Amino acid sequence: MKYSIFSLFLFFLLASCEETSEPLPQYIEDEINRRIDLKLNPSISIGILQADGKARFFNYNHEDIEIKADKQTLYEIGSITKTFTSFLLETRLISDKNSTLNNYFPKIDNEILDSITLHDLQNHIAGVPRLSEGFSPKDWSDPFNGYSDEILYEDLNSLTMSAQGRWAYSNLGYSILGKSLEVNTNRNFNELMGDLLQNTEMYRTYLNHKNFDEQKMAKPYNVGTENSYWKFTGPSRYAGGLISCTKDMINYLRFQRENNILFKQDIINPIQTNVPNLGDTKLFYNNGWFVLKPNNDQTILLHNGGTGGFISFIGYNTKTNQGVVILANGLEVVDDIGLSIIYPEFELGKPKRSIAFEIADLIEEDKADNLQQAYKQFLEKGQHEDIIDVYWLERYHFGKENYNISMQLSEIMVEVLPEDWEVFDIKAQNLEKLNQFEKAVEFYKKAQSLNPDSIDLEKKIKRCEEKLS
């Protein structure tokens, strides 16, 4: 194709007008650099959409990391994918959003499907659990790899509901929603999502990890440890499978601003989430987006996402017409940074390195003989405690079959959370992998005593008892 000198000049003129270089406020940049220095987030990539349509991009990198972030560096965006799936529902559904699941899965013999609508799933009010009770990945360091239509059908057959009509976030719900869209439109994930990416001019956004050079992608990190990529498969892709960069995500914000009614008018009757993180009674949900109402005249649409080594945030202030995207590795949430950029009254957090970072360093240095004792010593020194970080570290090493490590981490979790059935389940999983079946039964039964309705725990107990007989 040939271009005239004038057309080339016009192209570069338009390209230069797309971006502007106004700096971030110093207090925000200082906080970002502090987190980078601590490796809470080894790299952070930011895109800002201004009211006039111009974009600003900022990238921050720890000096030690191999792949330095820029506006085209790829990150897993996790649950921000749900906003794409929700938009597909709004624009591609042939039938009614209030149609029930039995219309899409007539061969599933579960009367619960007669009372769940696509609208319920889209808004997390279907009473569907966050994950199916039998969710049991082959590799906990890459948990959605291997999820398939067949597993989803098993989940639908055994699906139970709790508190339908009350908001409760569900990855399983969006997997079901995505599969329902496929049945309704007779199109698959690649076709549905691929068309949307083309319409949105997201040419460096990917549906999986296969079609690009991994040198273009940031490395996944968690508590200072290089982690695994999460390779979503089957219908789980609708809940968290997209991979993107800040340049493309700014295009996505532009597209949403122009084509999504939520970005253009007051949101009527959003659903109260009762999530306290951003202020009691201030965070709502509507058709794929969280809705923050910090005061009477401000509405901010937002979503975040996280995988095994990446964290993400997207937000849009409908009053100022400004948007922001933040993609980072590490699992320290960046919501507060994004909100502070588009709503300056929002207060930045001051996250700290938790004990899990120090434990990860000991593991890296092959000094993991007694992690329980080390944990107590760090705690006595006043080191910040975050048991969720320990959980992520344990699941990573369990998935990598480092059972000597994951077993010790599970024991820390049991000691810190003695009333939580899941930590006893996790310790039992480790015991089972170490062929200590009698002890595994003991801890599965302890988990069962705290969660007596669990069918999955009963199956695990039976499995271990059969190995003892």
Query: How does pLDDT run across 348-403, given as a tens digit for each residue?
Result: 999 999 999 999 999 999 999 999 999 999 999 999 999 999 999 999 999 999 99
Burial class (CB in 10 A: 0-12, 13-18, 19+), 402: middle
How much is the average pLDDT of 23-50?
Answer: 97
Question: CB under 8 Å to 16, separation ≥6 — which residues?
Answer: none
62 in any annotated domain: no
Where a domain ends, among 342, 365, 381? 342
Q: Where are the beta strands (DSSP E) in 124-231?
A: 221-222, 225-226
Report the mean per-residue pLDDT for the chain: 93
32 in any annotated domain: no
pLDDT at 18: 59
Question: CB under 8 Å to 410, separation ≥6 — which residues?
Answer: 394, 423, 426, 427, 429, 430
pLDDT at 359: 96
Q: Identify the band that residue 2 occupies on the pLDDT scale cut at 50, 70 and 90.
A: very low
Q: Identify the band that residue 70 occupies on the pLDDT scale cut at 50, 70 and 90.
A: very high
Tell me: do 317 and 371 sit in the same domain: no
Tell me: do 305 and 400 sit in the same domain: no
Tell me: do 320 and 205 sit in the same domain: yes
Segment 443-453, tens digit of pLDDT:
999 999 999 98
Q: Identify the band that residue 262 occupies on the pLDDT scale cut at 50, 70 and 90.
A: very high
Q: Is the model's pLDDT at 4 over the cut of 50?
A: no
Tell me: do 116 and 261 sit in the same domain: yes
Domain with 405, as residue range(s), is 355-468
Instruction: Report the alpha-carbon distance of residue 325 to residue 322 in Å, rounded.
Output: 11
List, in sequence order, the alpha helices (H) in 162-266.
171-185, 189-199, 237-240, 246-259
Q: Identify the band that residue 9 occupies on the pLDDT scale cut at 50, 70 and 90.
A: very low
Burial class (CB in 10 A: 0-12, 13-18, 19+), 362: middle
CATH number where 464 lies: 1.25.40.10
Q: Percent of the chain at pLDDT above 70?
A: 96
Tally of structural domains, the chain: 2
Tell me: do 259 and 408 sit in the same domain: no
pTM for the model stands at 0.91
Q: Is the model's pLDDT at 280 over the cut of 90?
A: no
Tell me: do 225 and 363 sit in the same domain: no
